[in-house]
């Protein structure tokens, strides 16, 4: 009996031992897998872990510079060189410019009337592998000068909107390092913030960058720029030129302009003011919207009617300003510029601060009907054909002293009666000097 029980217990013991060894082996395999995974995870973390970096911000000009950190409801003034961190926002008003120096020596010039967020400022925590910067402008213009990758293997600097991004990289066989700009503006002063109401201009001043939208990617080289409309469509490539006037074709009505009416010179207040109307016109076979300055001939007291736009932008290249527009004068009283040459059916004024810091004004007058008894000197005004569209271009590169900051542009009509139309008002300046910087 005992022999029989012993004989039958041996297979049971062997089975139990096999199960024990299998369990131990499985445990070892699990342990090995855990150790391998932990090692891989640790290696991955070691190679890819990043740390937030800081930057410094300095006021170049003006006094109205603001800073807001994550979690803050209110903005606070920047009065001296200040350290800023990932997630901080800076804001400037007209006449104020900031200079941001990033942790790697890259710089950002924050122009007037700009709001910018430092969305990401990172570098590798353990290895000098990568550095990554992401900037998110809400509006305005920034000029970015990217530093070389240096001791890092790869460097990337991006400016992002909801519907587009511009990226410059350096390292891993790609050498794009240089400088570029991004301008973001609302289509109208009254438009809300979302990207569906904003357009973007991107230009490379030196090096190369990639512009990415939902509709595709475009590579930008030196002295090239694209404009991206609110829907994300990329426009044609042009040279790097800055448009200083917002909506000079009145696509969004007069929302970017201020309308004004007043008496001319020392005249008493007129009994009937003029009006500014938006009219549809045909220009060289193309339908356009024009601002019509209109006053009926039923008041002997002269009056001014016009529109103006505040610009407040500092020029990158002082000797590069060009003003263009289309005009049509259909009626005017008095003839020419009046007896005292102070009543013209169209006057265009450019107010600016010159390189010496002085406030100055450039102006040009236009008329269609001559007055032989009161001729208009050529340096005072220009005659155009009556009731016919004329294209006007002024090269202001030889103004002396040269303009440094454009304050405003003013367009108005003056006299007892007038009917003048104007459209396609454009004031441009170059982004590149002779050295291409």
Residues in the chain: 437
Sorting pLDDT into bands at 50, 70 and 90, what band is 414? very high
Backbone angles phi, psi at 61, to 5 degrees: -150, 155
Sorting pLDDT into bands at 50, 70 and 90, what band is 25? confident
Q: Left (φ > 0), alpha (ψ -120 to 50) or beta: where does 250 sit?
A: left
Position 39 scores a pLDDT of 57
What sign does the CA torsion over 10, 13, 19, 24 have? negative
Task: Report pLDDT digits (tens) over 307-342.
Answer: 999 998 888 888 889 999 999 999 999 999 888 889
Q: Residue 413 in contact with residue 346, Cβ under 8 Å?
A: yes
Cα 245 from Cα 23, distance rounded (Å)? 78
What sign does the CA torsion over 100, 83, 137, 313 have? negative
Position 46 scores a pLDDT of 43
* Mean pLDDT of all residues belonging to the chain: 87
Q: Residue 184 in contact with residue 139, Cβ under 8 Å?
A: yes
Position 80 scores a pLDDT of 94
Cα 167 from Cα 205, distance rounded (Å)? 14
Sorting pLDDT into bands at 50, 70 and 90, what band is 36? low
As a whole number, mean pLDDT of residues 15-43 equals 69
DSSP character string of 152-185: SSEEEEEEE-SSEEEEEEEETTEE--SEEEEEEE
Give the predicted TM-score (pTM) of the model: 0.78
Best CA proximity match to 211, nearest among 221, 200, 219:
219
- Number of helices (H), then strands (E), belonging to the chain: the values are 1, 30
As a whole number, mean pLDDT of residues 408-422 equals 96
Q: Residue 166 in contact with residue 143, Cβ under 8 Å?
A: no
Task: Say which DSSP state 105 is in.
Answer: S
Task: Report pLDDT digits (tens) over 282-299.
Answer: 999 999 999 999 998 767
As a whole number, mean pLDDT of residues 264-277 equals 68
Sorting pLDDT into bands at 50, 70 and 90, what band is 434? very low
Distance of CA 387 to the CA centre of its chain: 37
Position 188 scores a pLDDT of 63
Say whether pLDDT at 134 is over 70.
yes
Say whether pLDDT at 165 is over 50.
yes
Position 437 scores a pLDDT of 40
Rounded to 5°, angle at Cα 226 from 220 and 231: 125
Work out the percent of the chain whose per-residue pLDDT is above 70. Answer: 86
Q: Residue 210 in contact with residue 167, Cβ under 8 Å?
A: yes
Sorting pLDDT into bands at 50, 70 and 90, what band is 94? confident
The structural domains of the chain, ordered by start, are 50-239 (2.60.120.1440), 258-265+272-431 (2.60.120)
Give the max Cα distance, the chain: 148
Position 318 scores a pLDDT of 81
Sorting pLDDT into bands at 50, 70 and 90, what band is 267? low
Which neighbouring-strand residues pair with 269?
none
118, 353, 411 from 140: Cα distances, Å: 15, 20, 24
Sorting pLDDT into bands at 50, 70 and 90, what band is 121? very high
Best CA proximity match to 242, nearest among 111, 360, 361:
111
Between 392 and 24, the higher pLDDT residue = 392
Place of tokens 């040009």: 364
Position 229 scores a pLDDT of 85
């Amino acid at each position: 009996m005992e022999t029989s029980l012993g004989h039958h217990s041996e297979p049971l013991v062997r089975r139990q031992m096999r199960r024990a060894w299998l369990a131990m082996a499985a445990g070892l395999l699990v342990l090995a897998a855990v150790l391998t995974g932990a090692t891989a995870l640790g290696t991955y973390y070691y190679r890819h872990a990043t740390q937030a970096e800081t930057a410094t911000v300095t006021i170049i000009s003006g006094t109205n510079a603001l800073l807001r950190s994550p979690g803050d409801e209110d903005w606070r003034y920047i009065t001296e060189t200040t350290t800023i961190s990932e997630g901080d926002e800076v804001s400037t008003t007209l006449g104020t410019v900031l200079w941001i120096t990033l942790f790697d020596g890259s710089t950002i010039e924050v122009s007037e009337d700009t709001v910018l967020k430092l969305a990401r400022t990172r570098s590798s925590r353990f290895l000098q592998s990568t550095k990554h910067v992401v900037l998110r402008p809400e509006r305005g213009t920034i000029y970015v000068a990217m530093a070389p990758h240096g001791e890092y293997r790869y460097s990337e600097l991006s400016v992002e909107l909801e519907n587009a991004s511009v990226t410059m990289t350096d390292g891993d066989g790609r050498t794009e390092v240089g400088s570029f700009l991004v301008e973001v503006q609302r289509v109208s002063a009254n438009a809300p913030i979302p990207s569906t109401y904003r357009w973007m201009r991107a230009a490379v001043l030196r090096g190369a960058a990639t512009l990415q939208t939902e509709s595709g990617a475009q590579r930008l080289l030196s002295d090239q720029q694209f404009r991206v409309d609110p829907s994300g469509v990329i426009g044609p490539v042009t040279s790097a030129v800055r448009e200083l006037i917002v909506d000079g074709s009145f696509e969004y009505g007069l929302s970017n302009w201020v309308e004004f009416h007043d008496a001319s010179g020392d005249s008493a207040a007129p009994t009937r003011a003029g009006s500014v109307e938006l009219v549809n016109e045909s220009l060289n076979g193309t339908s356009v919207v024009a601002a019509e300055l209109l006053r009926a001939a039923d008041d002997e007291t002269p009056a001014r009617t016009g529109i103006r736009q505040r610009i407040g932008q500092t020029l990158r290249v002082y000797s590069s300003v060009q003003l263009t527009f289309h005009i049509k004068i259909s009626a005017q009283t008095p003839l020419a510029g009046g007896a005292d040459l102070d009543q013209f059916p169209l006057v265009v004024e450019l107010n600016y601060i010159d390189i010496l810091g002085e406030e100055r004004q450039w102006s040009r007058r236009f008329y269609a009907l001559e007055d032989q008894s009161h001729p208009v000197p050529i340096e005072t005004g220009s005659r155009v054909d009556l009731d016919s569209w004329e294209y006007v271009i002024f090269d202001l590169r030889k103004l002396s002293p040269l303009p440094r900051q454009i304050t405003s542009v003013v367009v108005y009509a003056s006299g007892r009666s007038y009917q003048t139309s104007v459209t396609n008002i454009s004031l441009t300046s170059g982004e590149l000097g002779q050295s291409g910087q």
